[in-house]
Amino acid sequence: MKKFARIIGTGSYLPKKVISNFDLEKTLDTTNEWITIRTGIKERRVVTDQSTCDLAIEASKKALEMASLKATDLDLIILATTTPDKIFPATATMLQHRIGASCPAFDLQAVCAGFVFALSTAQQYIENGSANNILVVGSETMSKIVDWNDRSTAILFGDGAGAVVVSSDNTTGIKHSKLYSDGSYMSSLHVNNDRINELGTIEMAGNEVYKIAVKRLSELAEETLNDCNMTSDDLTWMVPHQANIRIISAVAKRINLPMSKVILTLDKHGNTSAASIPLALDVAVRDGRIKKGDSLLFEGIGGGFSWGSVLVEY
């Protein structure tokens, strides 16, 4: 019998420190009103003394608890992150050790598209019978690579983690995934570290990124629905990467999806890169908006560029 990959648990975690737009007004040539209108972001969380692994642990524990599983039940851990704690070992192996799992674990890097790439990878392991229970995590400490004097990026990014447990099931869960990459766009959004031991900071050509993101994500959303013989009427929710309200609104408009069917958390979280989709998912699951049987579209784009979508029956 064919096995399907189904999400059976979600979890998320945010650091306690909040930086509001009003805080940024004090150090940058900007205003709360300008940031809110241009991005939809009002505040973001940042770490003080926590690591990417620390955030991942808290989100993972909550996802495992919802799934009624122990860490020892896991067959694989995939951690999507742009901000690993070390060049090596993989932050996923630190997470594996600290939660008491004994399974293989590896990091996956596709920047803001990391979670959809990781979830699609987990789907393959489940469907080919290589694993029954997989922990997929997006965890980021983006504040460590932000130049807080650069208005174009300092207003956007935040820290956080989200996690899901994906398990083998006899009923449909993940219906479809679609992934793309195009390295020719590297200079539009990248970290400017010239040597491997330099952390560097984010550099972004904002207008170019906006145009590329709207074009690629709009095309992707249409392709995904067409591949599944669906329309926006068949979607219960779109859970997008929380990058910018204008990008999200443009994609929703392209597929005729009302904004009332879009899960938004960027006003409180900012852009948490690979963590943003699982963070938004967990918020909406726990507040009751997302229910069993709902049809969900995840989509995101990250530097490189890499972009992708996953269509899920929750």
Two tokens at 187? 């200079």
Q: Catalytic residue at 112?
A: yes
Choosing from 21, 133, 244, 271, which is the catalytic residue? Answer: 271
Q: Strand 105-108's sheet: what is its strand order?
A: 4-13, 159-169, 133-141, 76-80, 105-108
Instruction: Give dist(CA 136, CA 121) in Å, integer.
Output: 9
Choosing from 21, 53, 133, 241, which is the catalytic residue? Answer: 241
Strands 159-169 and 133-141: antiparallel
Q: Catalytic residue at 271?
A: yes
Instruction: Give dist(CA 80, CA 90) in Å, integer.
Output: 10
Q: Please tell me the total number of residues recorded for the chain in this structure.
A: 314
Instruction: Give dist(CA 248, CA 300) in Å, integer.
Output: 10
Side-chain half-sphere exposure of 227, counting CA atoms within 13 A:
14
Choosing from 112, 133, 244, 269, which is the catalytic residue? Answer: 112
The CA angle 118-82-150, to the nearest 5 degrees, is: 140
Q: Catalytic residue at 241?
A: yes
DSSP secondary structure of 253-307: HHTT--GGGB---HHHH-B-GGGHHHHHHHHHHHTTSS-TT-EEEEEEEETTTEE
Residues classed as catalytic: 112, 241, 271
